[in-house]
Amino acid sequence: MAHKAVFFDRDGVLNIDKAYLYKIDELEWIEGALEAITYLTQSGYLVFVVTNQSGIARGYYTVAEMEKLHQYMSDT
């Protein structure tokens, strides 16, 4: 069974790109991003977010902290 899907990069596409974003209170959505995701989801698309978080490798934050932000973004 085939599915329609859209892949979004996170920083600079869905949220304003801030250096090493992992704190929920620093998240700022790009205008129209949430509406676009809602539209695509309602139109039957699977929506995936891809991101390369070098801040984890640099020790600025943990995988758990990133996952907390991503869960918040998903729940919004």
- Any catalytic annotation for residue 75? no
| Amino acid symbol at 7 | F
Q: Round to whole Å and give the CA distance between 43 and 29.
A: 21
- Any catalytic annotation for residue 25? no
Active centre residues (catalytic):
9, 11
